[in-house]
Amino acid sequence: MRIAIVGAGALGLYYGAMLQRGGNEVRFLLRRDYDAIRAGGLKVFSTGGNFHLKEVAGFRRPEEIGEVDLVVVGLKAFANDRCAELIAPLVDAETLILTLQNGLGNEEGLAALFGPARVLGGVAFLCSNRGAPGEVHHLGAGKILLGALIPENGERAKMVAALFRSAGIDCTAVADLQKARWEKLVWNIPFNGICAVTGRTVADILGSDCGRRLARELMAEVMAAANAQGLSEPVPEEFADQMITFSAGLGPYRPSMMIDREEGQPLELDAIFAVPLERGAARGVPMPRVETLLGLLSLAVQGANEGTA
Amino acid sequence: MRIAIVGAGALGLYYGAMLQRGGNEVRFLLRRDYDAIRAGGLKVFSTGGNFHLKEVAGFRRPEEIGEVDLVVVGLKAFANDRCAELIAPLVDAETLILTLQNGLGNEEGLAALFGPARVLGGVAFLCSNRGAPGEVHHLGAGKILLGALIPENGERAKMVAALFRSAGIDCTAVADLQKARWEKLVWNIPFNGICAVTGRTVADILGSDCGRRLARELMAEVMAAANAQGLSEPVPEEFADQMITFSAGLGPYRPSMMIDREEGQPLELDAIFAVPLERGAARGVPMPRVETLLGLLSLAVQGANEGTA
């Protein structure tokens, strides 16, 4: 299968490498890693075993990639205004587009550009960081919950999920993509937010009473908003416990938003915070703690986030 | 009048200098500024006019100061566990103790040590920073609302307020000290908290929509908690507007908690956040935004605040 990776950060490089190792013809749209990957391929340092792809098809412009069967979108959500120019050259009548981005609103944006029928979404529970150019570090986890934007496309979602599994990626097709998205936010909102504001790791948060309490209170607000969205079934109360347990296993993990802030990069505040807040407000669910966290994040990165998205 | 200044930071140095210039016999308990003040006196750089006190009575230990008529306490609230040893040598049967510290609980702590009858409290709206040793910078404002812990002491509060006024300090005696304390918190909680977490100045906060909104939402929670405490009269809704207007006049002011964080000092989290939250909770007032801000502050300064108070 011909697959294009658009947005080859830590997530795009890792899944792209796995898909290529699994026998697919993968083409990466690259920026920072272009020279290193053209020269020496892509090295994956993974808790599941290191590997080195010596021949990697890397390109600078989407026109060089041409049409593919599947586009995997791993862009930071604040770069979504570039989706049209980056993805249009890759798409023929049958091409599927799978966004593995964080937060809410990404599938809808792609549907507006390319029609809803071809849009799939995946919620990735992946711990990975970029390394030196040409390298990616997979620190743990990696499961994807994959679904279609419109229910009629369930079979296509199952097919792509099977393709990912055949490449060694833990991937499950889900009927209710929105539910999976909101469940991811139950993690993303507290941990990306708290770590980015405070400069503390996941282990620091969970190692303090006030950190655990704050994380749980934020989770409760997100779950209340989720369960007001008419999901196929509610996010159960014990999901918060599961997320705490999952997070405890991450140790001193530095979530992507924390790294982005440290590097002076823009943060994915709209997709991870503002859109969920809007959807909560639309159903009358108060989320004062999440609002406060977003306000503080916005102030903290003033300047860094201006004029980018 | 013999006056001792205990806790000679920016606030203690400024008011102590004003009181000495006004003709009182002021004795400063010093630590950082001891050598500089003994050698060269105390320089005040003030928006109200600079002045230099060449002869200043500075001491290292309270026993050297001896008994006085009035003790002015300007310690950071997290150092309140030192009040007994620092103040006891200064107190005779008639000595009054005036705390100008931030937050809630300071008068009660002094009352437990020295009896409630002698305890006064003042709420200082002062913008000042320490400069080099032997210098203090008064950036603006400076009004004090001064009251007694117990109502029977109203006349003593009026007398001390008159003393301050005679030294050129804008000082008004108030019947309801608790109300004045809570009104100060309407400023302290949002601006100390937001600026300390985000590293942004007061002008940055007020210059952004989300900053102004967050400050107002925090103010609303503090005012709701204040107005559940049985104050003599409620903090009126327009008080928030007044505080925003006051703050806009401060420009790029860096609140003390922001400076403390930057310098790796402990923060006054109990007096300014935790005690007000407890008192709000005791009256059934939810303060989720203030709780969130305190949680983030606590995490951000983990380590710095441990083992100090």
**CATH number (domain holding residue A75):** 3.40.50.720
Answer yes or no: do A232 and A298 share one domain.
yes
Considering the candidates A43, A76, A179, A184, report the single residue annotated as catalytic: A184
Nearest CA in chain A to B295: A210
Question: Could you tell me if the ipTM is greater than 0.90?
Answer: no
Separation CA B77–CA B105 (nearest Å): 9
Q: Are residues A99 and A212 in the same domain?
A: no
A258, A146: one domain: no
- Structural domain range at position B264: 178-307
* Domain boundary residue, one of B175, B208, B236: B175
Domain-ending residue, one of B136, B157, B175: B175
Regarding whether A193 and A134 lie in a shared domain, the answer is no
CB atoms within 10 A of CB A307: 7
Closest residue, chain B, to A198 (C-alpha): B300
Q: What is the DSSP string of B17-57?
A: HHHHHTT-EEEEE-STTHHHHHHH-EEEEETT--EEESS-E
Within this chain, do residues B58 and B117 fall inside the same structural domain, yes or no? yes
Cα(B213)–Cα(B202) distance, integer angstroms: 13
Could you give the number of structural domains in chain A? Answer: 2
Quote the CA–CA distance of B69 and B16 in Å, as a whole number.
Answer: 14
pLDDT by residue for chain A (309 residues), tens only, comes to 999 999 988 999 999 999 999 999 999 999 999 999 999 999 999 998 999 999 999 999 999 999 999 999 999 888 889 999 999 999 999 999 999 999 999 999 999 999 999 999 999 988 888 889 999 999 888 899 999 999 888 899 999 999 999 999 999 999 999 999 999 999 999 999 999 999 999 999 999 999 999 999 999 999 999 999 999 999 999 999 999 998 998 889 898 899 989 988 889 999 999 999 999 999 999 999 999 999 999 999 986 554 333
**Cβ–Cβ contact B222 with A under 8 A:** no
Claim to verify: residue B245 and residue B145 sit in the same structural domain: no
Clarify whether residues A210 and A249 are in a common domain: yes
CA-nearest residue to B204 within chain A is A299
Residue A45 and residue A159 in one domain: yes
Q: B296 CA to chain A: closest CA distance, Å?
A: 6
Residues A15 and A138 in one domain: yes
The count of C-alpha atoms lying within 13 angstroms of the C-alpha of A256, restricted to the half-sphere facing its C-beta, is: 28
Best CA proximity match to B68, nearest among B118, B26, B110, B12: B26
- Told to judge if A158 belongs to the known catalytic residues of this protein, a careful annotator would answer no
Do residues A196 and A97 both lie within one domain? no
* Chosen domain end from B142, B175, B208: B175
Q: Which residues of B touch A214 (CB under 8 A)?
A: 291-292, 295-296, 299
CATH of the domain at B237: 1.10.1040.10
Tokens representing residue A73 in the block: 């979108």
Residues A12 and A131 in one domain: yes
Inter-chain contacts counted by CB atoms under 8 A, chains A and B? 88
Contact residues on chain A for B199, CB-CB shorter than 8 A: 300
The reported pLDDT for the residue numbered A152 is 85
- Whether B299 has its CB under 8 Å from any CB of chain A: the answer is yes
Would you call A100 an interface residue with chain B, using a CB distance cutoff of 8 Å? no
Instruction: Give the pLDDT of residue A309.
Output: 32
User: Do the Cβ atoms of B293 and B218 come closer than 8 Å?
Assistant: yes
Same domain? For B158 and B65 the reply is yes
How many Å apart are CA A50 and CA A14, to the nearest integer?
11
The per-residue pLDDT for B152 is 86
With contacts defined as CB-CB under 8 Å, which chain A residues touch B295? 210-211, 213-214
Closest CA to B118 of B134, B99, B136: B99
